[in-house]
Amino acid sequence: MRFSFLPIVILMMPILEIAGFIIVGKAIGLWLTLALVLFTSFLGLLILRLGGIGLVRNLQDAGRTGAKPADELVNGAMRVVAGILLFIPGFITDILGLLLLSPAVRRFFWKAFGPRVVVAGSFRQSGQRTGPEPGDHSGFRNGPGHAGNSKVVDLDEEEFHREEPKQSPWSNKPNDRDLPKP
């Protein structure tokens, strides 16, 4: 069984935030500390509003052009997480939120966690699947380079047919074949 430090860090965050308030309050004073907390909360709300709208717009543009949405999705999601962290009162969460606003930090996280992220490709109107090229490890799975692992079966109209439905013991409705023909 693997031991995780995440629950311990989550439980320690309020204590660390209170310690941060005490340290910053002693250094700059009560009113400037409160003003700084209110400013970062307002900044977080602003980033959430602009980041959410920008994320949707970038995803729509990527869908229209057929580009890979993985980079836009991850960058937008990290900006939204940064806004949430800035909105939460506290200096440690503010520092983490400000770090996530940096493109270099976002690239680092994408390189570290990108291979573990699965983003499904989409289908264009022509029916051609969009996705990565063979050897592209940008987070796509079951793309053109992974055709052997795909669970999609492509059938033509003449290859697809259904069997006649059988009468279900839980249904009171008769089947079409049991009805009298006019």
Could you please report the per-residue DSSP string of 51-106? Answer: HHHHHHHHHHHHHHHT--SHHHHHHHHHHHHHHHHHHSSSHHHHHHHHHHTSHHHH
Lowest mean pLDDT among 10-14, 76-80, 123-127: 123-127
**Tell me: the pLDDT tens digits for 133-147?**
544 444 444 444 444
| Straight-line distance from the first to the last Cα atom of the chain, in angstroms, rounded to the nearest whole number | 68
Q: Which long-range contacts (CB under 8 A, 24 or more apart) does 103-111 make?
A: 103/75, 106/74, 106/75, 106/78, 109/74, 109/78, 110/71, 110/74, 110/75
| Distance (Å, whole) CA 162 – CA 145 | 31
Tens-place pLDDT, residues 42-100 = 999 998 888 777 777 877 887 788 777 777 777 888 888 899 999 999 999 999 999 99
Confidence of residue 16 (pLDDT cuts 50, 70, 90): very high
Whether residue 174 is predicted with pLDDT greater than 90 in this model: the reply is: no
The pTM for the full model equals 0.59
- Contacts of 146 by beta carbon, 8 Å cutoff, 6+ apart: none
**Residue 17, amino acid:** E
What is the rounded radius of gyration, in angstroms, for the C-alpha atoms of the chain? 26
> Whose CA is closest to 140, among 124, 122, 123, 119?
119
